[in-house]
């Protein structure tokens, strides 16, 4: 089981849809494991946040990243490629969370080093279930790298 | 996703007791899988290169010949094999091991429970997430 944490799990959600952001926030707020959700609306913003180029460098580095594929400015695959090539960021687990279910997107995501690939259900209730499943598996069971 | 044929798992584990415990845990979780076993890292690499492609690998860390970290290092840069999800399943919970595995692109890191009930629960969790929520390559 995952070790006890002294601080809430830091999650970075890279997502341009405000509806999905709100839904994810609500599910995580009700979860038993305390977490803090940071949001980046596009790929460029995500990298700036992660690299501390945004003037908030005191912010703790995320323990987990939820990454959409279709994003403005820089898409999910490009973000993933940058993360995996960065010695400071390469260990952070990345969960692809996207509306895409194309086999090509699945393959290329795993090849680029995504930790897992989840197709976002369109149905509201199913989406909630998926976020809950991520919380249950990744926050309660998995050992995450200690990024503090 | 509807279940079709049972998923194919490759268990990389050198300890006979742990192999038995894993099988018991799968039974306890009522999870019907096709389980292939490699007793060391070299054997795991050979299975991956020549055998049927597993849907998921459960990888112990401390193994004879080629250990789990080396297996990750080799598999995750091999263009033919790198997309196969590898779950590290080990008794170690040392931050160094956890860091080293994620740096070598382990898909996730789980600590092996010591008792059967908890192990069965873990198998249920792996099944629910990796075969219920995730889209595998």
Predicted structure pTM score: 0.94
* Tokens 């309660």, residue located: A140
- State the CATH class of domain B10-130: alpha beta
Name which of A113, A115, A119 is nearest B135 (Cβ-Cβ): A119
- Please report residues of B whose CB lies closer than 8 A to that of A106: 135-137
Alpha-carbon distance A104 to nearest alpha carbon in chain B (angstroms): 9
- From chain B, the residues in CB contact with A136 under 8 A are 125, 129
Domain that holds residue A83: 9-141
pLDDT at A55: 60
Provide the mean pLDDT of chain A: 91
- A132 in contact with B at a CB cutoff of 8 Å? no
A137 vs B109: CB contact, 8 Å cut-off? no
Inter-chain touch A146–B130, beta carbons under 8 Å: no
Residue A63 lies inside a defined structural domain of this protein: yes
B35 vs B12, B55, B82, B118, CA distance in Å?
A: 10, 11, 20, 20
Among A47-51, B10-14, B34-38, B80-84, the least confident range: A47-51
In a domain, A124, yes or no: yes
Query: Is A148 part of any domain?
Result: no
């Amino acid at each position: 089981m995952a070790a006890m944490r002294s601080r809430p799990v830091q999650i970075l959600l890279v997502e341009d849809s405000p509806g999905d952001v709100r839904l994810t926030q609500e599910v995580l707020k009700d979860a038993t494991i305390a977490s803090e959700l940071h949001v980046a609306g596009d790929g460029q913003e995500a990298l700036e946040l992660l690299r501390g180029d945004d003037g908030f460098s005191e912010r703790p580095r995320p323990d987990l990243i939820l990454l959409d594929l279709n994003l403005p400015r820089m898409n999910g695959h490009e973000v993933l490629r940058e993360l995996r090539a960065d010695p400071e960021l390469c260990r952070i687990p990345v969960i692809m969370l996207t509306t895409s279910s194309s086999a090509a997107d699945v393959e290329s995501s795993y090849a680029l080093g995504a930790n897992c690939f989840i197709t976002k259900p369109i149905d509201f209730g199913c989406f909630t279930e998926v976020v809950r499943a991520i919380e249950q598996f990744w926050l309660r069971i998995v050992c995450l790298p200690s990024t503090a | 996703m509807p279940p079709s044929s049972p998923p194919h798992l490759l268990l990389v584990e050198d300890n006979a007791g742990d192999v038995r415990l894993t099988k018991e845990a799968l039974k306890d979780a009522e999870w019907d899988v096709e389980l292939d076993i490699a007793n060391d890292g070299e054997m795991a690499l050979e299975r991956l290169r020549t055998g049927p492609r597993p849907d998921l690998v459960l990888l112990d860390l401390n193994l004879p010949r080629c250990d789990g970290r080396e297996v990750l290092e080799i598999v995750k840069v091999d263009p033919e094999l790198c997309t196969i999800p590898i779950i590290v399943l080990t008794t170690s919970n040392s931050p160094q091991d956890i860091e080293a595995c994620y740096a070598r692109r382990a898909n996730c890191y789980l600590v092996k429970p010591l008792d059967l009930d908890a192990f069965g629960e873990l198998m249920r969790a792996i099944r629910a997430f990796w075969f219920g929520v995730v889209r595998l390559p």
